[in-house]
Amino acid sequence: MIRVLSLTTTDWRSFYQSQMTALERAGVEVTTLPVPSEHRAREDDVQRRTPLDYARYLPQVLRAAREDYDLVHANYGLTFPFAVAASALPGTDLPVVCTLWGGEYRDNPYADVIRWFTARADRVVVPSNAMADRVDRPCHNVPFPVDTERFRPVPRDEARERVGWETDERIVLFPYAPSREEKNYPLAARVVDGLPDDVRLRTVANQPYEEVPYYLNAADAVLITSRYESGPMTIKEAAACNVPVVSRDVGFAREVLEPVSDSHVVADDDALQSRLADVLAGDRRSDGRAHVTEYTVDEMGDRLRAVYQRCLESEA
């Protein structure tokens, strides 16, 4: 049994929860220690943590690190300094594994600090090849799997009845809060404004996770206009529901969607509108599910356990 102290800014995110499930199945015992308070995007604004929240976090991490753990796994760049601090405690000498989530080096005032601590981790994990390209050191690529039991095709009218949307609308889904600047809602709005009047842009944010598949299935297409991504997981989740996706060329969008029918990845923002119009005119579901079911939660757990094992062996 490997015992891991896991530091994270957002333990409620679906991809973090899937990581915990994967590790449990792989025989890894994980204790999660989240940063106090919460950073969450709401429909019109963003609730942000304060420096005081992070100041409160440091003694919590240092106390936890004195317990019987084999290593510290820091998830997202803002937790990296705390993991390194824990590893430096006298008598602990805990190896540090860091996982980058994607936003650490883009428009982040702490990017240089995060790079400095990333360079001092024993192992670095990334969720995509696109993220690996941003890191100036060897990385382990351990993607997040999609929950294909939860994210599955549901008839569109049934899904719309569930979420309370009109059944005769043509709906493009922007699957984030408009307040999240990196997701670039203004571009999505401009793209849809140039389409026929019967096309409506809808957003979804902070809904219970079990309801998200219904929102995806209720849409005619999902539109991703992000300025940068390591993912996003929404692309895999929509594909698992056979919902067409039109996306900017960010994160692993091209890697996931290239073989998928009735979905498009574009390098030119002007092409978003024409590709989206094509998808809406075709009024077909994609075949994305066939392309996202091979990589499982169990495989993720095995890969992460292997990273931990190598880290511990190199420390022995």
Cβ neighbourhood burial of 50 (10 Å; 0-12, 13-18, 19+):
exposed
> Residue 38: pLDDT above 80?
no
User: Which pLDDT score, from 0 to 100, does residue 163 have?
Assistant: 96
Residue 47 has pLDDT above 90, yes or no: no
Is the pLDDT at 156 greater than 80? The verdict is: yes
* pTM of structure: 0.84
- Residues of the chain with pLDDT > 90, as a percent, come to 68
Q: What is the pLDDT of residue 252?
A: 87
Bond from prior residue into 232 cis (ω within 30 degrees of 0):
yes
Confidence of residue 191 (pLDDT cuts 50, 70, 90): very high
Give the sheet arrangement for strand 199-203, strand by strand: 199-203, 170-174, 221-224, 245-248, 264-266
Listed ranges 70-84, 109-123, 221-235; the one with the highest mean pLDDT? 70-84
Of the pLDDT bands very low, low, confident and very high (cuts 50, 70, 90), residue 42 is low
pLDDT at residue 103 above 90? no
Q: Are strands 46-47 and 40-41 parallel, antiparallel or unpaired?
A: antiparallel
Structure tokens at 82: 């705390």
Q: Which range, of 3-7, 109-113, 196-200, 273-277, averages the lowest pLDDT? A: 109-113
Does residue 43 have a pLDDT over 80?
no
What are 200's two structure tokens?
């409506």
Q: How confident is the model at residue 44 (pLDDT cuts 50, 70, 90)?
A: low
Decide which of 149 and 174 is more confident: 174
Q: Which residues contact 242 (CB under 8 A, 6 or more apart)?
A: 153, 285, 286, 287, 288, 289
Which of 67-71, 88-92, 247-251, 286-290 has the least mean pLDDT?
88-92
Q: What is the pLDDT of residue 41?
A: 61
**Helix axes of 51-65 and 80-87: crossing angle, nearest 10 degrees:** 30
